[in-house]
């Protein structure tokens, strides 16, 4: 029984070395910081470190549908509304190559502070919208302006 177990382990090791053990296309990390203004508008900075296992010719990054003033790596970004999301085309930034890429998105979301039925203020902030790849690590932080004003 022990020989069978050792044989199976060795076969797995040989197959892993022969066929390459590497991570599939994924977001290695996503760091998102939201700054909320007193009027309920939120400015988001999202940094995504993405690993592409193989070249991708059509790569899109989903943001909330209400996202406005979108930039990627400091330049205006082309985006379109699709299935309740704002989809940003980042194909040109990765250049149809495999490897590791860092994309920095900035955008604003209006009217995120609302008053609930009890008359209390609520912040409704989407963390990640419709992302198709696995996310290995995500950090999210929010800066509030102090006491927000009721809308």
HEC per residue, the chain: CHHHHHHHHHHHHHHHHHHCCCCCCEEEEEEEEEEECCCCCEEEEEEEEEEECCCCCCCEEEEECCCEEEEECCEECCEEEECCEEEEECHHHHCCCCEEEEEEEEEEECCCEEECCCCCEEECCCCCCCCCCEECCEEEEEECCCCCCCC
Q: How does residue 91 score in pLDDT terms, banded at 50, 70 and 90? A: confident
Does the pLDDT of residue 117 top 70, yes or no? yes
Q: What is the pLDDT of residue 134?
A: 85
Higher pLDDT, 46 or 17: 46
Report percent pLDDT > 90 for the chain. Answer: 42
């Amino acid at each position: 029984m022990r020989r069978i177990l050792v044989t199976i382990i060795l076969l797995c090791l040989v197959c892993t070395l022969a066929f390459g053990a590497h991570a599939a296309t994924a977001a290695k990390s996503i760091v998102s910081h939201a700054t909320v203004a007193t009027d309920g508008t939120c400015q988001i900075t999202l940094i995504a470190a993405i690993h592409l296992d193989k070249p991708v010719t059509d790569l899109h990054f989903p943001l909330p549908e209400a996202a406005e003033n979108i930039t990627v790596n400091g330049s205006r970004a082309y985006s379109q509304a699709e299935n309740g999301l704002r989809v940003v085309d980042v194909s040109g930034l990765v250049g149809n190559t495999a490897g590791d890429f860092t994309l920095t998105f900035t955008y604003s979301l209006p009217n995120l502070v609302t008053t609930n039925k009890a008359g209390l203020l609520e912040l409704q902030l989407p963390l990640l919208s419709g992302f198709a790849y696995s996310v290995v690590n995500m950090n999210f932080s929010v800066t509030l302006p102090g006491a927000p004003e009721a809308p």
